[in-house]
Structure 1
Amino acid sequence: MKRLIKFMLVWLAAASLGLAAGGAQAADVLLGPGDVVKATVYGSPDLAVETRVSERGTLTFPLLGEVQVGGLSTQQAEKKIGGLLEKGGYLKKAQVNLLITTLASQQVSVLGQVNKPGRYPVDGPRKVLDLLALAGGIGPEGGDMVTLVRNRSGQTTRETLDVVDMVRKGELNRDYEVAGGDIIFVERAPKAYITGEVQRPGPFRIERAMTVQQAVSAGGGLTIRGTQRGLQIARRDPSGGQRTIEAKADDLVQIDDVIIVPESWF
């Protein structure tokens, strides 16, 4: 069921990404350092140029020299360059077209337990699910919780999103919009451990509301010598110490629990 939910998550995100890409216009993208743009002027092929936006937010344009375009949309930059060409007396009516060939400034880092971690361009309105789809979805070791770190107007905020719960309930309005410079981090799935008389002792992934009985099943079930009588859990307390408690089959498993399955003496 968990794998099905995550498959649906990636499929849904990819579908929404495709729809958004179809509707996103170049005007949605703000130019910044590192972006490469191809500029053409209607009727003036000698003014065509491919240039990179500098760290100062400027690009070099024929006849004009450096033009400040950082923070402008492509549409705004087109109007600005056209206005400068007309004001300088170079053209009576300048129709400028800018095409971004490399989008380097508006990128989001997707890190942690995803299939293809890296930096991905944001070329229009995008949300967390869109970027997870670009990163190949949540990996097999990934958990349900995703952290989004955003910087807006000098203020850094941290948001946590339970993506599986959001998709399962169809509450996509809980998703967050992202922008260049944001960081998406997929947490590793929480784990606990089982030892003693089970078929597969060792670590296991904690599912939602997982009980001790389900943990025994995750360990492959009891051996022929195992018994559920006298189950124990070694659990860390808030101070960092560890205490051993008796466990019942319907007790909930917590992160880093060590479930001890005893040997039957009868």
Structure 2
Amino acid sequence: MILPGKLQRMRPLSTIFLVATLLTGCATPQPLTSTPQLTVVDTNGVLPPPDRGDLTAGDRPALIGPLDTIEVDVFNVSALSREIQVDASGRIAMPLAGTIDARGRTAAELAEAIEVALRQHYVRNPEVIVNIKNSVSQVATIDGQVNEPGLYPVTNQMTLMRIIASARGMSEFARQEEVVVLRTVGNHRMAGLYDVAAIRRGAYPDPAIYANDVIIVGDSPQRRLFRDIIAASPLLVAPLITILN
């Protein structure tokens, strides 16, 4: 027979056991092993240096969008060279060239469109160079359990791990195995589910992130349960520290 006093003393111990079990399940690391996509070098081995091609990202065209700032240089016609902000509808306006749709074009494609427009207004053999000075349209959104959710610029080298790092990493309640990337492809909404812990182990490559992607980092109920137990039972902190040490 369990006396009431003993029962009260057993409840904190059972709660400590539950929390310790949760922590053990969350903290158990999986071993790093070689796969067809990953070669694990042992402690006595040396990682080889990367090739030159490994140090550069694959070509990903930078597209011009609304409110981007571009620099237009017309060779030998300094009066036409200028810095222009694309308007909210994705268009620019230039003397002699008129209004040109810049949205969704690369810098080289827009330069060619400006040259065509200038030829139509009697500018002989125009040579135009366009550079993207500041892009606000090429961004991805990251939300959920990260420390600084928001909009982040997308470059050739942007990947899932890089944008999480840009957001100052995952929060304490993040669920690493539940990271969703939402993307529109051909007017069709698609979603990919990723496991960041598996990517860190090298189980599969770090996926590329593109402009207009939305990344959502999931929430871990187990971590919240642990926080709530500690908050509700301050007397458990000392026994927990003893168990964990």
Query: Is TM-score (shorter-chain normalized) higher than 0.5?
Result: yes
Identical residues among aligned pairs (%): 23
Contact 2:160 2:208 in 1 (8 A): yes
After superposition, the Cα gap between the structure-2 partners of 1:120 and 1:24, relative to the gap in structure 1 and judged at 3 Å, is farther
Distance (whole Å) between structure 2 residues aligned to residue 148 and residue 72 of structure 1: 25
What is the alpha-carbon distance in structure 2 between the residues aligned to residue 86 and residue 187 of structure 1? 54
Structure 1 residues 152, 171: closer, same or farther in 2, change over 3 A? same
The aligned counterpart of 1:34 is 67
User: What secondary structure sits across from 1:40 in the alignment?
Assistant: strand
TM-score (normalizing by structure 2): 0.65
Following superposition, the deviation at residue 137 of structure 1 comes to: 2.1
**Structure 2 counterpart SS, 1:105:** coil
Cα distance in 2 for partners of 1:131, 1:197 equals 37
**1:177 and 2:208 matched:** yes
Per the alignment, residue 62 of structure 1 pairs with 95
The residue correspondences of 1:238-257 to structure 2 (distance < 5 A) are none
Q: For 1:91-170, what aligned pairs fall within 5 Å after superposition?
A: 91-92=124-125, 94-124=126-156, 126-144=158-176, 145-168=178-201, 170=202
Higher helix share: 2
Match of 2:236 among 200, 210, 216: 200
Which one has more relative contact order, counting CA pairs under 8 Å at least 6 apart? Answer: 2
- Alignment partners' CA distance in 2, 1:114 and 1:96: 43
**TM-score, scaled relative to structure 1:** 0.60
Are 2:158 and 2:208, in contact at CA under 8 Å, matched by a contact in 1? Answer: yes
**SS, match of residue 236 in structure 2:** coil
Residue 103 of structure 1, CA deviation:
1.1
- TM-superposed CA distance for 1:108, in Å, is 0.6
Contact 2:182–2:213 (8 Å) recurs in 1: yes
Q: Name the CA shift for 1:146/1:85 in 2 (closer, same or farther; >3 Å).
A: same
Post-superposition CA distance 1:134-185 (Å, at most 9, x none): 22222333221211111222211222110111221x1343x33322221111
Q: Distance in 1 between matches of 2:72 and 2:169?
A: 36
Cα deviation 1:45-68 (Å, max 9, x = unaligned)? 211122222233211122112111
What SS does the corresponding residue of 2:216 show, helix, strand or coil? strand
4+ residue segments displaced more than 3 Å: 19-25, 192-199, 219-222
Distance change >3 Å, CA 34–CA 198, structure 1 → 2: closer
Indicate how the Cα distance of structure 1 residues 197 and 73 shifts in structure 2: closer, same or farther if over 3 A, else same.
closer
For 2:116, the equivalent position in structure 1 comes to 83
Counterpart of 1:187, as a letter, is: G
Moved more, 179-188 or 122-131: 122-131
Give the count of matched residue pairs. 188
- Unaligned runs of 5+ residues in structure 2 are 1-25, 31-52
- Asked whether the equivalents of residues 65 and 104 of structure 2 are also in contact (C-alpha less than 8 Å), the reply is yes
Gaps of 5+ in 1: 6-18, 202-216, 223-266
* Residue 187 in structure 1 maps to residue 227 in structure 2: no
- What is the alpha-carbon distance in structure 1 between the residues aligned to residue 105 and residue 134 of structure 2? 16
RMSD across aligned positions (CA): 3.3
CA 1:200 to 1:44, structure 2 compared with 1: closer, same or farther past 3 Å?
A: farther
